Amino acid sequence: MLLWLRPFRVGDYIETQLVSGTVREIGLFVCHLETFDGLFVFAPNSTLWNVWMRNHSRAASRMLAWTVTLPRTIDFDEARALLVGAFPQDGGEDALSEPVVFLDQLTAEAQILVLRGRVKEGAISNVQRATAERIRLIFTERYGAEGEPKAIQRTLPADADPSRYLGRDEAPEASRTLVSRRPDEPAPALPAANL
C-alpha cells in the first residue's frame, strides 16, 4: 500500500502515534527511519499504512507564531513595528509572507502581542530560533532593561514538532526524490523516444 499510495518519500520526516523520523528506505515489507536524534527505527509497513500520519515534509511553507509579553509603557504601534522588523522580510531568502502582529491580551501591567508569518519549510528551524533572539535584542536595545520582553513564547510550531531541534541541513524539505530511489542514488536516465 505504501508503494502505491506514496504518503511519504525517502527523505521525508513523518510522524505517527507509534514512530517518527526521517524515512531512509522504503521496502516491500518494512521502512527504515532515523529519528531526529540519530536513532535507527525498523518499522513494519503495516504499522505505517493503517494509522494516521503527519508528513512534516510535504508542505512548501510553515507558519511560525510567538506571543510576546511587553510592558504597557511601550507604545503599541512602535512595538508592532519592532516585531515586524524582527521577522524575516517578504522577498528574503526565508520569508514567504509579510508578518502579522496583533494585540492578543491586555492586563494592568502588560500587553501581549502575537507575531506570526510563513517561512519556507527548510528554514523553519533557523528562523524560529533567530527571530526569538532578534525580538529580545531589538527591544533591549531600544528600551533598555525595562523594555525587555517579559516573555517570548513560541506557539507555532508546537513543542512536539521536531523542527525546533533540527538545523537547516537537517530540517525536512518539500519536493524530495521519488519513493523508489535512495537520496544518494543518481536520477535514472530517461529512455530515448522512439521516432
pLDDT of res. 93? 61
Domains of the chain plus CATH, in order, are 2-55 (2.30.30.60), 61-164 (3.30.70.100)
Above 60 in pLDDT, residue 189? no
Q: Tell me the pLDDT tens digit for each residue of 15-57.
A: 898 888 999 999 889 999 998 888 999 999 888 888 888 888 7
Task: Locate 13 and state its grid cell.
Answer: 520526516
CB 157 within 8 A of CB 164: yes
Number of H helices, E strands in the chain: 4, 9
pTM above the 0.85 mark?
Answer: no
Which residues are within 8 A (CB) of 150 and not within 5 positions of it... i.e. 6 or more apart? 69, 70, 71, 110
Which residues are within 8 A (CB) of 177 and not within 5 positions of it... i.e. 6 or more apart? 9, 10, 11, 183, 187
